[in-house]
Amino acid sequence: MAGADPAAGVASKLDFDGPRILVPVAEAIALVAAILRASGFPADIAQEVAGHLADADLCGVESHGTIRVLQYAEQAASGYLRADAVARLVPAAERGWPWVDGGGGIGIPAMRLAVDDATDQALRDGIAVRALREAGHTGRIGAFAERAAERGALAIVIGGGGRKNWRQAAPHGGRKALLPTNPYSLGIPGGDRGPAVIDFATSMIAGGWLHSARAAGALVPAGAIIDSEGRPSRDPAAYFAGGAILPKGGPMGYGMAVMAELVCEAMLGPATTECNWLVLALDTSRFGAPARMREMAEEMLAELRDCPPAPGFARVEVPGERERALRAANLPRGISLPERTLASIRALAARLGA
C-alpha cells in the first residue's frame, strides 16, 4: 500500500515542501488506468497511457505524470477528447508522406504510432517524415524520441499550431499570452549509458508544471511567469488569472515557438484537437558504423560528465541520462506524489466509481 514519504529522490521544478505520498508503481498505473476506463477509454489505451504517465513520474517529469489523468478525464467528459478514438496511419498522397490521424483522441498512442512508423521507414530507406494531426495531449515527448534513438535513429519531434486554443506564452517583449508552449525533442544514439535526449518547451516551463503547482499548492520558479499586468510572479494562480509564461531564453524560445507554429500550422494545416506534430527520423548508420558512433559519443559525453561542477551543482549531467537514472532509482520504491495531488486523483476515481 502507499505510504508517507519525504521528497527525497524527487526531481521537481516546483517550490514545494509539503507532504508527499509514496505510491507503488503498479498501484499508480492501476488507479490511472481504472479512471481512464471509467471515462470511456478502451482498456488497451487506458493501460498504455497509465504506464506512460507513471514512467514520466519515475523519470522526474512530474508535470507530465499521473496528474495528467485529471486533465484527460475532464477532456473526455467535455467532449474535447474522443475517448473511443483509435489512431490510424493514413497512406501517402501523391508527392506526400504518410501521416497519423489521431481521430480526436488521446495523443500518447498516436505519437507512439507516428514515431515507430517513421523509425521503421528510416531504418529501411534512410529517412522518413510523419505528421501527426487530430490528437490530444501526447505525454512526455522525450520518451518517444528516446524510443527511436534506442533503435539507431536520430529523431526530431516538433509540436505547434495550437495558438488559437492554447494561448499560454507571451512573445518576447510582450505581456499577453499568444503562443502555446510548443515543445521540441531530439533523441540520438549516445554512448555506453544509452541515447542522448533533449525534451523542452519553448517557454520557461511547460504548462503542465503550472497545473502541477496549482494542484499541489506549490510555487513555480522565479522568472517563469508574469501576471496579467506583466509583473513577475511565482504564484500559479497569477497565470490562470490572465497571466502568461515567459519564453525560454527570451528571443531564443520565442523564435523557436514561432518556427514551430509555422511548421505545424502554416505547413501542416490548421490544428484541431490540440496541436500538430512533425516527426523526422534518420538512420544514423548511413554515416558510419554504429560501434564507431557509440565510441565517439562516449568519449565526448564522458568529458562532459568529468567537468568540475560549478558551485551549487553536484555534477555535470548528460541529457537523457538523468531521466534513466531517476527511473532506475525510483522504480523499486515507487512514485512520490504531493498529498493534495494524490487526493484529487483518488477523489476523481471515487466519483467515477473506478
3-class DSSP state for residue 57? helix
pLDDT digits (tens, 9 = 90+) for 105-133: 999 999 999 999 999 999 999 999 999 99
What's the pLDDT tens digit per position in 306-348?
999 999 999 999 999 999 999 999 999 999 999 999 999 999 9
Q: For the chain, what is the radius of gyration of the CA atoms? A: 20
Q: What is the pLDDT of residues 262-306, one digit of tens each?
A: 999 999 999 988 899 999 999 999 999 999 999 999 999 999 999
Alpha carbon distance 305, 59 (integer Å) = 19
Which is nearest to 9 in space by CA: 334, 296, 255? Answer: 334
Task: Tell which CATH classification among 2.40.50.140, 3.40.50.2300, 3.30.1370.60, 3.30.200.20 matches the domain 87-200+247-324.
Answer: 3.30.1370.60
In angstroms, the CA 101 to CA 114 distance is: 9
Q: What is the pTM of this model?
A: 0.91
Amino acid (one-letter) located at 22 = L
DSSP, res 267:
I
